[in-house]
Amino acid sequence: MSAQTPFRRALRSFLEQRTARVGLIIFSVLLLAAIGADVISSYDPTGVLIGVEPTAKRLAGPCINLFGCEGPQHVFGLDSNVRDVFSRVIHGARLSLQVGVLTVGFAIVIGTLIGAVAGFVGGWVDNLLMRLMDVLLAFPSLLLAIAIVTVIGPGLLNAQIAIGIVAIPIYARVMRASVLGLRDREFVSASRALGSSEAGILFRKILPNALTPIIVQGTLGIGGAILDVAALSFLGLGAQPPTPEWGSMIGGDRNLLFSSPHVVVFPGIAITLTVLAFNLIGDGLRDALDPRLQR
């Protein structure tokens, strides 16, 4: 019987963890909901139901026919603009997952390049790049993101850019630490002896071996990015109405928490579950990919 590959060992270690499996299940449900949002939801997420349904009224509570509710079914009720909350939450899953992946992807690409160059070249280049990263880290992340969005203007794309810029130093520092631990290894010296260029050594030899911490950090960062973009949307700096974004939904109806809690609670639960799923998956990946934690 052949020995297991490192990938299979890591996958088995990941799936053996109960919390990782829970996170994976939650993420799978969210992903299926996002992909099939148009099929699952019966209403346009931005459509107002006044004139479409004679019985539709503002802030109507959840109505599930299976539980004896008569009339059109609205699983999560209607919001202050007489829109179906369930449809908006489901379509918000698609938007939030895209936001998280694209934002973190942008930060990882830029941060990885900065950290790799700083760690490999060293000297004044390292000092210059890392001091710039320290300047960004000196500001509270959400406050800096608010400042950036204020300058470039509100909007979902600008909010993603702002959160991505704020996250760059995190990935730069992680990559720099990984490169510093690899640049003096034997395989690097052997590559130099064989005549490989410095750029080739960095991008073909060191970088592929330094990606594990970035993958783990990126998975954990997706949940944080979704939460930060939701916070900007809550403040009116991210997604603009009538876009079905969870933070914007909570911000628009936040004063109705006690009179009509369904318009705030369901988007809030969606944010909580999404962030929890990525945190659990990230923890599972860290334990599975870190050889020091292998049992």
For residues 71 and 55, give the distance between their C-alpha atoms in angstroms, rounded to a whole number.
8
Residue 8 in any domain: the answer is: no
pLDDT confidence of residue 85:
94
For residues 295 and 286, give the distance between their C-alpha atoms in angstroms, rounded to a whole number.
14
For residues 189 and 178, give the distance between their C-alpha atoms in angstroms, rounded to a whole number.
17
Residue 216 in any domain: the answer is: yes
pLDDT confidence of residue 291:
55
Please provide the size of the chain in residues: 295
Residue 72 in any domain: the answer is: no
Does the model's pTM come out above 0.75? yes
- Residue-wise pLDDT for 1-57, tens only, equals 445 676 788 788 888 888 999 999 999 999 999 999 999 988 999 988 887 887 888
**Residue 202 lies in domain:** 93-293
* Mean residue pLDDT across the chain: 88
Q: Span 135-159, mean pLDDT?
A: 90
For residues 221 and 82, give the distance between their C-alpha atoms in angstroms, rounded to a whole number.
34
pLDDT confidence of residue 209:
85
Is 87 in contact with 52 (CB distance < 8 Å)? no
Provide the terminal-to-terminal Cα distance of the chain, rounded to the nearest Å.
21
Residue 184 is encoded by which pair of tokens? 């003096």
Residue 245 in any domain: the answer is: yes
Contacts from 11-18 at CB under 8 Å and sequence distance 24+? 11/288, 13/287, 13/288, 13/294, 14/284, 14/285, 14/287, 14/288, 17/284, 17/287, 17/288
The single-letter DSSP state of residue 138 is: T
Strands, DSSP E only, in 22-90?
A: none
For residues 107 and 218, give the distance between their C-alpha atoms in angstroms, rounded to a whole number.
9
pLDDT confidence of residue 4:
63
Residue 15 in any domain: the answer is: no
- Give the pLDDT band of residue 73 (cuts 50, 70, 90): confident
Residue 97 in any domain: the answer is: yes
Percentage of the chain lying above the pLDDT 70 cut: 96
- Residue-wise pLDDT for 135-145, tens only, equals 998 888 888 99
CB-hemisphere CA count at 13 Å for 260?
Answer: 21
pLDDT confidence of residue 27:
94
Cα–chain-centroid distance for residue 152?
22
Residue 6 in any domain: the answer is: no
DSSP notation for 84-123:
BHHHHHHHHHHHHHHHHHHHHHHHHHHHHHHHHHHHHH-H
Residue 232 in any domain: the answer is: yes
Q: Span 263-276, mean pLDDT?
A: 94
Is 84 in contact with 42 (CB distance < 8 Å)? yes
Domain count, the chain: 1
CATH number of 216's domain: 1.10.3720.10
pLDDT confidence of residue 261:
93
Is 98 in contact with 245 (CB distance < 8 Å)? no
Q: Is the pLDDT of residue 176 over 90?
A: yes
- Give the pLDDT band of residue 60 (cuts 50, 70, 90): confident
